[in-house]
Amino acid sequence: MAAAPFAPRHSPDIVGLLAEDLARAWREEYRWDAEGRRYRAKHAVRVTQGGVQYAFWADIDTAPRSHILKAFGQRRRQVVGDCYQLKTDADHYNYDHPAEEQIQIVLDFTHDVEELQQLDKKGEEAA
């Protein structure tokens, strides 16, 4: 049976495109709380079922705690993965350039986060 002459050879994955657009919009939705903190409104939990990965999104203000715990845990693992790769890359560079001053990667972000929180507070006071 021949395909209809007007049928596209490769039909776009409309559902996939819509899912990407929704995910992008949800990732970029922020709100401000009573303390003036800007927070991300939507959080995803990724689940693989039957070899297919799905993202289940929920609103932070109404989602069950179990969803938010999973979402935060997954995001934390992403951060750890990024840090691991950065450290591996720096270790490789240092190994490959022994005559140069070694690049030190500090993975304790406590002061960095505190500094950003203080900048947020100062920005709020200035407004």
Domain boundaries, the chain: 14-126
Report long-range pairs for 101-108 (Cβ below 8 Å, ≥24 apart): 107/83
Q: Is the pLDDT of residue 124 over 70?
A: no
For residue 98, give Cα distances in angstroms to 84, 87, 90, 105. Answer: 21, 16, 12, 16
Q: Is the pLDDT of residue 19 over 80?
A: no
pTM reported for the whole predicted model: 0.75
pLDDT digits (tens, 9 = 90+) for 49-59: 999 999 999 99
Residue 42: other Cβ atoms inside 10 A:
19
pLDDT digits (tens, 9 = 90+) for 93-110: 999 999 999 999 999 999
**C-alpha closest to that of 57 among 79, 18, 27, 37:** 27
pLDDT digits (tens, 9 = 90+) for 36-88: 899 999 999 999 999 999 999 999 999 999 999 999 999 999 999 999 999 99
Instruction: Determine the average pLDDT of the residues in 17-30.
Output: 84
As a residue count, the chain comes to 127
